[in-house]
Amino acid sequence: MTSSRSPHLRFGLLIAAFAFLLDQVTKWVIITPLSLEAKRVIEIASFFDLRWAENCGISLSMFASCTDTTRWTLVAVTGIVAAAVGFWMTREQAKGDVIALAMILGGALGNIVDRVRYGYVVDYADLHIGEFRPFMIFNVADACITLGVLLLVARALLLGEKASDADARSSVK
């Protein structure tokens, strides 16, 4: 009997752990040595600031509500999503998809820890062009989740087209 366990699982778990640790260490630096919460804004460059933001909602601060009910509901929902991503990662055979899933998992775990510890997700990265802000204020976990999702979508679209082309070529013969 062959195992359906991913041959890339260990590598994926290392990436997830790295994403999680990078997120948590970065937030520690933001909160403790830099004391961003008290300062509110630290200008780094003309296009990038460290700006304190407490995200009580989900992506893009949607459904923001800083109640205990919302907090624990989001912890539970994010935990379920993280568990599903982790399970998918154990079964995924494609290394590129495992990497994407690991980034999503590490980011989700980082944001879960924030919600449990503080009641909100600590956001601080503010990319902007003058007053124009093409992105919401985010953190390393958000960046990992976004990049992981984009990688999954890109791979699905690109590899889906290659598979369709290969099927078309084989049926022509």
What residues are labeled active site? Answer: 123, 142
Q: How far is CA 59 from the centre of its chain?
A: 10
Alpha-carbon span 134 to 82, nearest angstrom? 27
Alpha-carbon span 22 to 19, nearest angstrom? 5
Q: For residue 98, which of 164, 2, 19, 1 has the smallest C-alpha distance? A: 19
Query: φ, ψ for residue 35 (rounded to 5)?
Result: 50, 45
